[in-house]
Amino acid sequence: MEPVRAVVSLGSNIEPRAEYLSRALEMLSAMPTTRLVAESPVEETEPVDVPQEFAYLKFLNQVVVFETGLEPREFSRRMHAIEDALGRVRTVLNGPRTIDIDLIDFGGLHMDDPELTLPHPRALDRDFIRRLLISTLRFDGR
């Protein structure tokens, strides 16, 4: 497969937040046939759509861009394996998380199946993704 650009958002609202972001970025960059090409600054954001009892847990977020030779479903599966390796627990919908990794765009591909929806359906509803994506694209010179 010809390398494509994969846009990924990272988020963490469980300490040590910055360390979880850093480890996720390191692990994503180590995926086969994948290289980091741009990254936004890290930004602290208010939680969105979380249960009230967790509303005080602010997120650290970042948007990163990779070039990858992986197929989109394989890239997504590996992202979820990284979440699992970093202790992500999915017991409460939109609850606290060590790391949240979302595939925002994959080479402009449109998919809508149970395993993967592209582009990410709620990405542009998140102000931080729009801001950080613009910052990332400026950093990348595009």
Split the chain (142 residues) into runs of 10 and give each run's mean pLDDT.
90 97 98 94 89 92 94 96 95 89 90 84 65 57 48
One-letter amino acid of 115: E
Complete DSSP assignment for 20-40: HHHHHHHHHHTSTTEEEEEEP
Report the predicted TM-score, pTM, of the whole model to 2 decimal places: 0.86
Check residue 142 and give its pLDDT.
Answer: 47
Domains of the chain as residue ranges with CATH: 4-108 (3.30.70.560)
Question: How far is it, in rounded angstroms, from Cα 96 to Cα 8?
Answer: 19
HSE-CB for 17 with a 13 A CA cutoff: 17
Neighbours of 43 (CB within 10 A): 16
- CA atoms 14, 26, 135, 75: torsion sign: negative
Check residue 16 and give its pLDDT.
Answer: 98
Let me know: does 40 contact 64? Beta carbons within 8 Å.
Answer: yes
